[in-house]
Amino acid sequence: MYMAELELILAAPRGYCAGVDRAVETVEQALKLQGAPVYVRKQIVHNLHVVADLETRGAIFVDDVNEVPEGATVVFSAHGVAPTVHEGAAERALDVIDATCPLVTKVHNEAKRYDQRGYQMLLIGHADHEEVVGTMGEAPGAMTLVENAADVRTLPDYPVDTPLAYLTQTTLSVDETSGIIAALKQRYPWIESPDKGDICYATSNRQAAVKELARVTELVLVIGSANSSNSCRLVEVARDAGVDSYLIEDESEIDPTWIGNRTKIGITSGASAPERLVLGVIEWFRTRSDGITISELETVHEDVSFHLPRPIRRALALVDTPSAD
C-alpha cells in the first residue's frame, strides 16, 4: 500500500526518562567493568528491544535471585523490589547493584514511613505489575491495592480515627488516577496523601504531550512494549482525546490500513523505548509514501538526570584514578 504525502508530528518529550536511562546504563557499565555475564532480575525496563540488545552483550535475565549463582553480580530492575528480594540476595551473597528508579524508591520510602506510624495504606496501581509487587512488599499487612474507582466501594469501612493514606504506582494515567483519588477522598475525607504526587514527571509529561498531539493529528502511534504500563497509558490518553491510537513494538507492527487517507500522523514512544525505534518508524513511512515532512511538538523541556547507583560510580572512579607507580 502506497501512501500520499504525509506529515509526521513527533511528541516531545517522548522515549527514555531519566530512570530508564539510568537503569539501562547501569547494566551497560556493569558489563564493561566486570565483563559478562551480569545477571538482571526481571526485565531491566519493560522493552523487548532493550532487553534483547543487552542479552547480546552478556546480560542474563532471571525471574528470581535463586537463579543467580552464589556470589555473582545481580542488577535489580528500575521497577524496584520488595525487601524479601534483598534478603534472598543477601542469603546467596550476591553482589547487588540496585537500579531502582529514584522516584519508585520515593514511594517505597513513603510506604515504610506510613507503616512505621501505624497507617493503613491504599495503593493505586495495577495488580501483578512489578512496581506494585515491590511497593506492597514494604508493608504487606498494611497495604491494599486499588485498581479503579469501582474498587473504592468494596474497601473496608475504616473508622474515622484510622490512620489512612494512599500511594500510587508511578506510571499510571494522570486523569484516571485523579478520579480514583477523588473517590477515596469522598469515602475517607481524612485520608492523607504524599507530600508530592507519586506519578512521575516523565509519565505526566508524556501524557500531556500526547493530549496536545491528539489535537493536531488523525492517528497516534505509540512505540512501546505491551507490558510497559506507561506506554499502554499513552494509547489510552490518545483515544480518550478522540483519535485512533495503536501500540506498536516497532515499525514491523504497523498496519497500513490504519493510515487510510489520513495525512497527519502523530508518533510518540513510551519511557522505556529507545529513540532508534522512532527512527525506524519514520523510515517505514519514508519508504511507503510520496514524501514526508517531520515536525516536533514540544510541550515541555526535560532536563532531569539521576546519578548511577553507588557501586557503579565507585567502580568508575577506580577506573578513572591513575595508579601510583
Q: Would you name the residues annotated as active-site residues? A: 131
Would you tell me the crossing angle of helices 48-57 and 18-34 to the nearest 10 degrees? 10
CB 218 within 8 A of CB 270: no
According to the 3-state scheme, what is the secondary structure of 185-235? HHHCCCCECCCCCCCCHHHHHHHHHHHHHHHHCCEEEEECCCCCHHHHHHH
The H-or-E segment that residue 33 falls in is: helix 18-34
In three-state secondary structure terms, 171 is coil
C-alpha grid cell for residue 318?
577506580
Evaluate whether 172 touches 228 at the Cβ level (below 8 Å): no
Neighbours of 117 (CB within 10 A): 9
CA-derived radius of gyration, the chain: 22
